[in-house]
Chains A and B, each alone.
Chain A
Amino acid sequence: MNLQIRIRKHLPHFELSIDVNCPAETMTVVIGPSGAGKTTLMRIIAGLDKPVEGFIQFGDEVWLDTKRRIFLPPQKRRLGYVFQDYPLFPHLSIHDNAAFATGARKDVVQELLERFGIRHLQDRKPDAVSGGERQRCAICQALAREPRLLLLDEPFSALDVFTRRDLRDELRNLKEELRMPVIYVTHDVNEALYLADDLLPIVEGRVDREWMQRSLVRVDDARPERAKAVREPRLSLAY
């Protein structure tokens, strides 16, 4: 199942205009400076925002077609979305949050909680666990629904550097098992290089394949090690 996106939306300072294809079993990392329209793109894919003009097709199911006035509400898209700082449901325990949309499949939830190392916290409320544990729970919540597509919008950027690194590693391991397209948004070049199967740099609402090069060349003179880091993604985590 692959995802085809072709959208246009007016934003305050520029126009978001994207035409991409995200194949299954691929992690597409959307990267670009803050305010480039990355989150808007994700919200449109999820069905939380509507573009003025656009077409989104997942497999052979049309999610959005402004010409034919088709709009599939977010409820019917069956996707997982992990946001940077979206709160879990404060009135529910970690377990109930993870199991929020799964119905009866209790074993799936237990497995996920175990895998992300928060099973021992399952009876606590979200405000009684750390930020990293909350994000782990958010990932469990998204995956427990058995989504067809996973959207991760800077899921780790509010976390401290060590927790971020751990979760990044776990995500990279998880990636191998996921059979769905994954779209990951970040403004962190290192993270992008570490995780991406396919890079999608977005600047001012447009795909700009040269942006990575340019932004790295700029720091070249001052910090030559950065250039090395780009050539050697594994190394880049050290910087």
Chain B
Amino acid sequence: MDWTALFLSLKLALVATTILMLVTAPLACLMAYSRLPGKAFLEAFINLPLAMPPTVVGFYLLIMMGPEGWLGGLWTRATGSPLLFTFTGIVIASIIYSIPFALQPMRAAFEKIDPRLIESARILGLSPPAIFARVIIPNSLNGIAASAILVFLHTLGAFGVILMVGGSVPGQTRVASVAIYEAVETLQYGSAAMMSLALLPICYIFLLVVHRLTRSQS
């Protein structure tokens, strides 16, 4: 049983979820309230990872984050180290891969907020950022929590994308899903079973929490 891999999975999920929540909240706000032209195009683009096979997403990320790719090149120039096959690399990949899972529930929660509350706050003199912090966020906590848990689980379960971008460097990119796959490949069924069993209750309990959060909201 590979404890490092399990721990790495949890760490990756936690880091990616935290960053994603901060990035997605304003984006979801934009999606929910603005009347941007071309919003549908932007949304479809952000949702692409939902529809494409993870290996395809992973392949594009591999190209983008490689030493010749714009992101990889930029990163190497800035930090002096490569992006592929590192923890940072799989964090970035997980974020891009999980954005739709963060965006959809958060957007739905924002759209459920009574627009009259926002009008009321405007008349009371609140600036848009103040409305976001004092009206929108406190009234969509359930949706935000549901979104965070879904992202957490989705990142915990990511396999194809991480294998493409991160490979299997122990302690760096060898997360539980990759370690389980390798254990099966090398016929270590016992070890694979233990790690799978460790993930099962985590996912189950979190899904129950999501169900509860989304139900109590409606």
Contact = CB atoms under 8 A, between A and B. Distances in A.
Interface string B33-68: 000000000000000000000000000000000000
Contact of A91 (B123, B124, B127, B139): B139
Contacts of B116: 83, 86-87
Nearest to B138: A91
B135 A89 contact: yes
Contacts of A77: 123
Contact of B117 (A78, A87, A101): A87
A101 B124 contact: yes
B120 interface: yes
Interface in B105-123: 114, 116-117, 119-123
A213 interface: no
B125 to A, nearest CB: 5
A73 to B, nearest CB: 7
B198 to A, nearest CB: 37
A167 interface: no
B126 interface: yes
A83 B124 CA distance: 13
A79 B117 CA distance: 16
A77 B139 CA distance: 26
A86 to B, nearest CB: 5
A101 B125 contact: yes
A81 B123 contact: yes
A75 B114 contact: no
B113 to A, nearest CB: 10
Nearest to A85: B116
B125 A75 contact: yes
B125 A89 contact: no
B147 to A, nearest CB: 18
B112 to A, nearest CB: 12
A194 interface: no
A43 to B, nearest CB: 9
Interface in A58-85: 73-81, 83
Given A83-B120, A101-B124, 7 more contacts: A47-B122, A75-B125, A77-B123, A87-B117, A89-B117, A89-B139, A90-B139
Interface of B: 114, 116-117, 119-127, 135, 138-139
20 contacts: A46-B123, A48-B119, A48-B123, A74-B122, A74-B123, A75-B127, A76-B125, A78-B125, A80-B123, A86-B119, A87-B114, A87-B116, A87-B120, A89-B120, A89-B139, A91-B138, A100-B124, A101-B124, A101-B126, A145-B124
